Amino acid sequence: MQYLHTMVRVADLEQSMHFYCDLLGLQEVYRKDVEKGRFTLVYLAAEQDLERAKRDDAPMVELTYNWDPESYDGGRNFGHLAFRVEDIYALCEKLQRNGVTINRPPRDGHMAFVRSPDGISIELLQKGEALAPQEPWASMENTGSW
């Protein structure tokens, strides 16, 4: 068995691409517009997984954008994605500067949660050992749900 991808339905493809690519740093591997089915699939990979994603079609995040508006309640758009990051504080600062709420701040220097434009929970985990606690993160309270 081989893990291939996780599919996430998105309401606004442009807004989601900004979040996943410009802010989180994923890269588009390929995209497919399906005229007959009226949807677009965009496959994304983390930088360190990019070559493997191109070679093996894995591991990736698949953004599914349905051209006709739909409501994604009842868990139809998924639970959470997890990414290992080089510097959790730097990434959280970048996300926050760009208007992303840090729902669970990296108080412990190890783990944080944010949400995508579609409300998908994104877990960020520090690569290697946890970083030493530092402000403003160490004393920041949770915001909303994660």
Q: Is 18 annotated as a binding residue?
A: no
Q: Is 62 annotated as a binding residue?
A: yes
User: Quick one: 27 exposed, middle or buried, by C-beta within 10 A (0-12, 13-18, 19+)?
Assistant: middle
Helix (H) or strand (E) holding 92: helix 88-97
Spatial separation of the C-alpha atoms in residues 27 and 70, rounded to whole Å: 26
**Beta bridge mates, 40:** 33, 65
Q: Is 123 annotated as a binding residue?
A: yes
* DSSP assignment string, 29-45: EEEEEETTTTEEEEEEE
Q: Is 35 tagged catalytic?
A: no
Task: Check 28, 47, 70, 123 and give the catalytic one.
Answer: 123
Catalytic residues: 123
Point out the annotated binding site for Zn(2+): 62, 80, 123
> Which residues belong to the annotated binding site?
62, 80, 123
